[in-house]
A and B are shown apart, each in its own frame.
Chain A
């Protein structure tokens, strides 16, 4: 597949957002064909009584409230509670539900990283992601490069994320589907024996639950 188009063609390089990301075209630039379609589709759905403007706004609030902190809380609980960990690995949806995170009708599978096995998740088809636990996926997760290469040369991809695994570590790549999502249970770092559940959760970043990173050491 050719890979010669400019990736960042719709980024504004003049400024960065407060969170350190480049701004995207938004409200203040020319109305694009697809933005026009979004407005039209939304208004038609509202006119037909299918959805309300309030429902759209509420859905965006729910979306914005989800973050990798949800997943980190689940991971920390699994680290301190063997019974919970067993349930998580058996039925991740039920385990997350116990903590108040609704996974919906999706099948969620938690895969455990150990000294011998490193798991990484990808969606080669599009962008399936455990968004109920991690929020919306990062851009790179949806990129053609990540989706194409993770199943072909996972060690090279992980090395680009700064994660170089020994040859004795087996790498398992999990390809998500629309109704089957994965989350990685990262290995608990050494030297964390005395930490509280909340302190442990603070060590668990988004990438460690995708498998492109590992949990931080305290």
Chain B
């Protein structure tokens, strides 16, 4: 990444979506609880490989990395996550409705 050739710096900016701000908040709160450090976040991000940096958005990579660290720390299991995601998906078609606000 650093030092590799790349195109013009994009000048776009956007307002962060609520779900993105929540991901950011979860990172801070979960690390404050001592479940992982910013190094743990970074390790998970770097393990994703280059494709993840081209295909996923910034906070998509973050929630994936937070989740990986929480599973590794034993806060919940992959089975619990799968079950919960199924439950969430069954609630509604949109983020707002599925999240209940």
Residues of A at under 8 Å CB distance from B? 1-3, 5, 7-8, 10-11, 17, 19, 21-32, 34-45, 48, 50-51, 55-56, 59-60, 63-64, 122, 124-127, 136, 138-140, 142-149, 151-152, 157, 160-161, 175, 178-179
**Are B2 and A175 touching (Cβ within 8 A)?**
yes
Kindly report which residue of chain B lies nearest to residue A212, judged by CB atoms.
B9
Interface residues of B in 1-54 (CB under 8 A from A): 1-26, 28-30, 33, 35, 38-39, 42, 45-46, 50, 53-54
Q: Which of B19, B33, B46, B60 has the most CB of A within 10 A?
A: B19
Q: B1 to A140, Cβ gap below 8 A? A: no
A residues less than 8 Å from B56 (CB atoms) = 34
Contact status B6-A144, CB under 8 Å: yes
Complex Cα gap A25–B38 (Å): 27
Residue pair A21, B85 in contact (C-beta under 8 Å): no
The answer to whether A145 touches B88, judged by C-beta atoms less than 8 angstroms apart, is: no
Chain B residues within an 8 Å CB radius of A28:
94, 96
Contact assessment for A148 and B96 in the assembled complex, using a CB-CB cutoff below 8 Å: no
Cα–Cα distance between A29 and B56 once the two chains are bound (Å): 17
Q: A31-B98, A144-B6 are in contact. List 15 more A-B contacts (CB 8 A).
A: A1-B1, A7-B10, A8-B10, A24-B20, A28-B94, A29-B94, A30-B94, A31-B94, A31-B95, A44-B84, A50-B29, A51-B26, A55-B29, A63-B24, A138-B13
B28 to chain A, nearest CB (A): 6
Contact A139 to B26, CB < 8 A, known contacts A26-B18, A36-B85, A41-B66: no
A38 touches B23 (CB 8 A): yes
Q: Which of B56-100 contact A (CB under 8 A)?
A: 56-60, 63-64, 66-67, 70, 75-76, 80-81, 84-85, 87-89, 92-96, 98-99
Shortest Cβ distance from A157 into B: residue: B9
Q: Is the CB of B24 within 8 A of A36?
A: no
Contact between B93 and A136, CB atoms less than 8 A apart = no
Known: A24-B16, A145-B8, A179-B38. A10 touches B2 (CB 8 A): no
Quote the shortest CB–CB distance from B95 to chain A (angstroms): 5
| 18 A-B residue pairs with CB within 8 Å | A5-B54, A10-B57, A17-B15, A21-B14, A23-B14, A24-B16, A35-B98, A40-B84, A41-B26, A41-B66, A44-B80, A56-B22, A124-B3, A126-B42, A145-B6, A146-B9, A147-B1, A148-B6
